[in-house]
């Protein structure tokens, strides 16, 4: 329970359906951040008191720093584009927290995520929520079936507006909160680059901007200022907008080019979760949360996948999360290793 409308209504709905509900809030990061603050804990405690359910606070700061924050920093310093929310769900919320819940004799764990569980041929799969604009299955794609079998998503069949309406009707004691799409542990008055520089203890590192032919066209203050697909902040005048199309962290080189050069027909992926075995599959895939799944042929052998899209995709970046769908259910997910022609 974060003290926000989604997790608060999820707890209310479970209680209304007869579940014996216990509220849990996680303390994850000691610095000033966008979530897990003292006021968030108090918000959650106030809602739990209103609902007349027990409330606990678990301190996972050490594990969160190791599994999520350090991962985020090391990926950026390796020239990759991480998604810390996916890793947090995998390692912390549906990892450590689920273990803690089961140790407390809980039958299952529920969250305020917008997602659904799909049962098919005796298997349990992750599916998109009814409110496709808010559906968060992309961030949950690394969860294995054994975790899904111990999980509930009470909001999966509701729209966001319906959840807000329930909150008002019930009179949940909620403070107004702005929803943020930013990384939760980067303070609101900070940015990724300064956060990474501060925690990685690195300063500016003068490097070279090159085009796709390897010709020097400018300079920069460090490859970690850039991510693949980035347009703003390149600082080079040209006849057309320029984008980051490659990063070489070892040589401190950033490759730039027109938007047409940022597209790739395929990607190589290291799978973290996969439900279909080896072979060739006609599926669809997302490489970004807000993207509509794109049709693709996926060749799988072991934990490696090679993906060929029907249409070239914009700026697939090493480190990004690729999620694979069969219809509206998730059949796997992994980390992009390399874009391919």
Cα of 209 vs its chain's centroid, Å:
29
3: left (phi over 0), alpha (psi -120 to 50) or beta: left
Neighbour tally for 91: CB within 10 Å: 19
108 has catalytic annotation: no
How far apart are the C-alpha atoms of 202 and 173, rounded to whole Å? 44
Of 35, 36, 108, 184, which is the active-site residue?
184
* 8 A C-beta contact, residue 307 and residue 285: yes
Pairing between strand 329-340 and 263-274? antiparallel
Instruction: Return all residues near 262 (Cβ < 8 A) that are at least 6 apart.
Output: 228, 229, 243, 244, 245, 314, 315
How far apart are the C-alpha atoms of 39 and 177, rounded to whole Å? 11
36 has catalytic annotation: no
* 8 A C-beta contact, residue 4 and residue 36: no
Of 36, 88, 108, 240, which is the active-site residue?
88
Torsion over CA: 179, 70, 288, 246 (sign): positive
Catalytic residues: 88, 184
């Amino acid at each position: 329970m974060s003290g926000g409308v989604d997790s608060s209504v999820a707890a209310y709905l479970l209680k209304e359906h007869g579940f014996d509900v216990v509220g849990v809030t996680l303390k994850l990061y000691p610095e000033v951040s966008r979530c897990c603050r003292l006021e968030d804990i108090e918000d959650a405690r106030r809602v739990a008191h209103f609902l007349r359910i027990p409330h606990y606070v678990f301190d996972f700061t050490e594990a969160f720093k190791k599994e999520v924050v350090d991962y985020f920093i090391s990926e950026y310093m390796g020239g990759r584009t991480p998604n810390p929310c996916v890793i947090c769900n995998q390692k912390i919320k549906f990892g450590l927290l689920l273990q803690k819940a089961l140790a407390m004799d809980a039958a299952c764990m529920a969250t305020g995520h917008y997602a659904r569980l799909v049962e098919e041929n005796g298997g349990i799969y992750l599916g998109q929520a009814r409110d496709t604009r808010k559906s968060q299955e992309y961030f949950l794609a690394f969860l294995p079936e054994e975790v899904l079998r111990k999980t509930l998503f009470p909001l999966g069949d509701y729209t966001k507006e319906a959840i807000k309406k329930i909150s008002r009707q019930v009179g949940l004691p909620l403070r107004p909160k702005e929803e943020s799409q930013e990384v939760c542990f980067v303070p609101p008055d900070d940015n990724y680059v300064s956060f990474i520089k501060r925690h990685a203890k690195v300063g500016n590192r003068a490097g070279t901007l090159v085009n796709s032919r390897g010709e020097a066209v400018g300079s920069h203050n460090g490859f970690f200022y850039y991510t693949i697909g980035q347009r703003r902040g390149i600082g080079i005048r040209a006849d057309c907008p320029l984008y980051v199309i490659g990063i070489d962290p070892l040589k401190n080189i950033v490759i730039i080019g027109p938007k047409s050069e940022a597209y790739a027909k395929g990607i190589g992926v290291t799978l973290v979760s996969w439900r279909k075995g080896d072979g060739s599959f006609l599926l669809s895939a997302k490489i970004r949360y807000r993207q509509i799944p794109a049709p693709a042929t996926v060749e799988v052998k072991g934990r490696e996948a090679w993906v060929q899209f029907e249409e070239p995709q914009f700026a697939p970046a090493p480190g990004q999360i690729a999620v694979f769908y069969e219809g509206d259910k998730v059949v796997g997910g992994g980390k992009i290793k390399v874009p391919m022609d």
